[in-house]
Amino acid sequence: MENQQTFDVIIIGGSYAGLSAALALGRSLRNVLVIDNGNPCNAQAPESHNFITQDGETPFAIREKAKAQLKNYPTIHFLEDTVTDAVKEENSFTVTTKTEGNFRAKKLLFATGIIDTLPKIEGFAECWGKSILHCPYCHGYEVAGKRLGVIGNGDMGFEMAKTICHWAGELTLFTNGTSTLSDEEVLLLNNYNIKVVENEICAIAHNNGYVTQLTFEDTEPEYIDALFTQLPFIQQCSIPEKMGCEFNEHGFVQVSKTMETSVPGVYAAGDCLTLFRSVANAVAAGNKAGATINKQFIAEAFKL
């Protein structure tokens, strides 16, 4: 591939949002380069759910099927590499990759996702994505009626416990230290038979990533079949910040209704934008971004 070629759009990130955007753009006859380093957010999840036609499929299989279909479009190109920089010029962008050098594009789309910051609890990392879960809509059905737990405190813990409640046979909220819940919140949880445990978690025992119990320093273990939590995160790619893109108060890239960031010509889609992390949502966001980018090309061509 000639790296001096100017593409209509370079998409940075080739998971669900990026591939969905590429499909919309490829079908719009736009010349597109998808650059991906093969490090998706849900790499450890054994199955993907709540996405029609693909329910229960592995995340890897969904991506590979998508890539195979996109290869039928001659204007969609793929590069396995890591983007190290992107610079806005007068009417285009220069994208630098770790291995292949520089590429040019009229517009950029970041579909780069986030990196969850895992707590330093023994066993947590091995269970993350398998039996320690972030989304009940993606995974709640598979653990319905079982002994479930929520790791969280304050408003986040309270809200997630409420959300998980009707999936659970038994439910415990583990604040992992002194509770910051209000008395009213504790009373309401107790009214729904949701126990609150304030002890710090020492370790999570598991069988090949599937939780069996939580252990504590001075109390008996709690037997649990699955856990839900919401983790702090960092953006997987720091380039949007470097380029001057605005972020919201939660740390997500801020976009307009057309998926454009605060930097003209730079767009974003997928998990880098929202707490609502699901394959279906990422695909929808990518599809919208691809369509609105194509519409912007049309508007620029017909500008008086």
Residue 205: the pLDDT is 97
> The whole model's pTM is what?
0.91
Both 218 and 246 in a single domain? no
Judgement on whether residues 183 and 128 belong to the same structural domain of the protein:
yes
* Residues 156, 19 share a domain: no
| Domain contains 1 | no
Is 90 contained in some domain? yes
pLDDT for the residue 77: 97
Residue 274, C-beta contacts closer than 8 angstroms, at least 6 positions apart: 252, 281, 285
- Tell me the average confidence (pLDDT) per consecutive run of 10 residues in the chain, 304 residues long: 78 96 98 90 75 85 93 97 94 94 96 94 95 93 97 96 96 96 95 95 96 93 96 94 96 97 97 89 96 97 82
- Of 229, 257, 292, the one marking the end of a domain is 229
Domain final residue, candidates 176, 196, 229: 229
Residue 282 lies in a domain: yes
| Separation between Cα atoms, residue 16 and residue 83, nearest integer Å | 18
Beta-carbon contacts of 113 under 8 Å, excluding residues fewer than 6 positions away, are 13, 15, 40, 41, 236, 270, 271, 272
Q: Is 37 a domain residue?
A: yes
Q: Are 47 and 106 within one domain? A: yes
- Does 185 lie in the same domain as 143? yes
Q: Do 269 and 130 share a structural domain?
A: no
pLDDT at 242: 96
Quick one: pLDDT at residue 299? 95
Asked if residue 110 and residue 33 are part of one domain, the reply reads yes
Those residues with Cβ within 8 angstroms of residue 31's Cβ, 6 or more apart along the chain or in another chain: 7, 8, 9, 75, 77
The secondary structure element, H or E, covering residue 109 is strand 101-110
Instruction: Assess whether 185 and 222 both reside in one domain.
Output: yes
- Among 172, 205, 229, identify where a domain stops: 229
Largest CA distance in the chain: 74
Is residue 127 a part of any domain in this protein?
yes
- Report how many domains make up the chain: 2
First to last CA, the chain: 35
In-domain check, residue 74: yes
Q: What is the pLDDT of residue 3?
A: 56
| CATH assignment of the domain containing 107 | 3.50.50.60
Clarify whether residues 10 and 95 are in a common domain.
yes
Q: What's the domain range around 160? A: 118-229
The residue among 184, 127, 189 whose CA lies nearest residue 157 is 189
pLDDT the model gives residue 1: 54
